[in-house]
């Protein structure tokens, strides 16, 4: 047998030649991480944090709750209430907003009533109207700009038909339009850190219908980041996001009971460890995106010209995730 034919035969058998005629089998695919039930929560819609005391904020059943490090839930801000059937996603303000204070540990929640926009719930549990969103459609995304490219403002997405309006809101509640013609997106939107290649500082948002992940620049341009390659469609495609930090952590994801849905949910918070994600190939700085149907999860990394997508985790088939992916430091 010729040398060329011998090499082809080795490659076809799934091995590569190394050293003095030795061969090793092709490397197996990394083991996928698994989202597992953590605690029961009635109709959870979102989870964010941590606050300065280490607790997480959970939006569930039209109310707000604080989740301690040991998994205990307690009611927070009893005067706050939203329609349990609507997706009133939330965002949490940090201590420093570069000269414009949103109030440390203040929760900002999408409001479908009065005002139609955003309400603020401060650390003392007081609830107040914050900003009115004039854009027509469904308000379906909220996130703080912690990178600074949008002026450290609060970003809100409102979708009507095939397009999404992105507004930026300063700490006084003044609303500025970034774009009215972004690709249709919704869910746990997030601003990319400086390490996210060509999309650093952009607002990154998922499109559950088409399965794509999109960027909105501070100047209002709309760019495709990547195709997730995951199942997509209504209540099926990519919904939730977070950028992975360094260090040891757990990621949390709200899994809402949705009767009659192909993925009916289970009224729990799902959890996965940083160690399991790392074993599956996720790295610090990656964008983690999970589907609304079954919590199928990709890690996306971007450089100066290209992005790569790796499937890193799955959830229970029953899972119906909503809102953001939250990070709990270990």
Q: What is the pLDDT of residues 287-309, one digit of tens each?
A: 999 999 999 999 999 999 999 99
Instruction: Count CB neighbours of 234 within 10 A.
Output: 11
For residue 30, being part of any structural domain is answered with no
Q: pLDDT at position 94, please?
A: 83
Alpha-carbon span 144 to 155, nearest angstrom: 6
Is the pLDDT assigned to residue 16 strictly greater than 80?
no
Sign of the CA dihedral running 185, 77, 115, 203: negative
Mean pLDDT, the chain, whole residue set: 91
Q: Kindly indicate the confidence band of residue 97, based on its pLDDT and cuts at 50, 70 and 90.
A: low
Any idea what the CATH number is for the domain that residue 110 is in?
Answer: 2.120.10.30
Instruction: Count CB neighbours of 146 within 10 A.
Output: 14
Contacts of 277 (CB under 8 A, 6+ apart): 33, 244, 251, 288, 299, 312, 313
Q: pLDDT at position 30, please?
A: 84
Alpha-carbon span 62 to 78, nearest angstrom: 10
For residue 13, being part of any structural domain is answered with no
For residue 202, being part of any structural domain is answered with yes
Q: pLDDT at position 10, please?
A: 37
Instruction: Count CB neighbours of 94 within 10 A.
Output: 15
pLDDT digit string, tens, across residues 203-227? 999 999 999 999 999 999 999 999 9
Q: pLDDT at position 1, please?
A: 47
Range of the domain at 280: 41-329
For residue 46, being part of any structural domain is answered with yes
Q: pLDDT at position 24, please?
A: 37
Q: pLDDT at position 42, please?
A: 96
What tokens appear for 46 in the block? 């979102």
Looking at the structure of the chain, the number of domains it has is 1
Q: Kindly indicate the confidence band of residue 100, based on its pLDDT and cuts at 50, 70 and 90.
A: confident
Contact by Cβ (8 Å): 214, 225: yes
For residue 207, being part of any structural domain is answered with yes
CA angle 148, 200, 88 (to 5 degrees): 65
pLDDT digit string, tens, across residues 132-143? 999 999 999 999
* Preceding amide of 265 cis, omega within 30: no
For residue 306, being part of any structural domain is answered with yes
pLDDT digit string, tens, across residues 149-160? 999 999 999 999
For residue 17, being part of any structural domain is answered with no
pLDDT digit string, tens, across residues 260-275? 999 999 999 999 999 9
Residue in the structure block whose two tokens are 């969103």: 133
What tokens appear for 327 in the block? 């990070």
For residue 5, being part of any structural domain is answered with no
Q: Kindly indicate the confidence band of residue 18, based on its pLDDT and cuts at 50, 70 and 90.
A: very low
């Amino acid at each position: 047998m010729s040398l060329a034919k011998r090499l082809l035969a080795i490659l076809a058998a799934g091995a590569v030649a190394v050293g003095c005629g030795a061969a090793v089998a092709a490397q197996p695919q990394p083991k996928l991480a698994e989202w597992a039930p953590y605690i029961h929560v009635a109709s959870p819609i979102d989870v964010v944090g941590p606050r300065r005391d280490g607790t997480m904020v959970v939006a569930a059943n039209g109310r707000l709750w604080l989740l301690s490090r040991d998994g205990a839930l307690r009611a927070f801000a009893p005067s706050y209430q939203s329609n349990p059937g609507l997706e009133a996603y939330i965002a949490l303000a940090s201590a420093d907003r570069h000269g414009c204070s949103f109030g440390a540990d203040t929760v900002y929640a999408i409001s479908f009533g009065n005002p139609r926009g955003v309400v603020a719930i401060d650390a003392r549990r007081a609830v107040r109207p914050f900003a009115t969103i004039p854009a027509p459609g469904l308000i379906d995304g909220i996130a703080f700009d912690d990178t600074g490219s949008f002026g450290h403002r609060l970003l809100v997405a409102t979708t009507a038909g095939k397009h999404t309006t992105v507004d930026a809101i300063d700490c006084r509640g003044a609303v500025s339009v970034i774009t009215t013609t972004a690709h249709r997106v919704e869910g746990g939107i997030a601003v990319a850190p400086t390490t996210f290649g060509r999309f650093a500082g952009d607002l990154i948002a998922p499109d559950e219908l088409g399965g794509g992940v999109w960027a909105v620049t501070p100047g209002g341009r709309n760019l495709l980041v990547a195709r997730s390659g995951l199942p997509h469609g209504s209540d099926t495609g990519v919904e939730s996001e977070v950028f992975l930090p360094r260090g040891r952590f757990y990621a949390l994801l709200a899994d809402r009971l949705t009767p009659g849905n192909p993925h009916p949910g289970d009224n729990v918070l799902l959890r996965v460890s940083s160690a399991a994600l790392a074993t599956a190939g996720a790295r610090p700085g990656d964008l983690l995106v999970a589907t609304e149907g079954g919590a199928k999860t990709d890690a996306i990394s971007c450089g100066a010209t290209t992005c790569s997508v790796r499937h890193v985790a799955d959830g229970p088939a029953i899972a119906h995730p909503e809102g953001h992916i939250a990070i709990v430091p270990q």
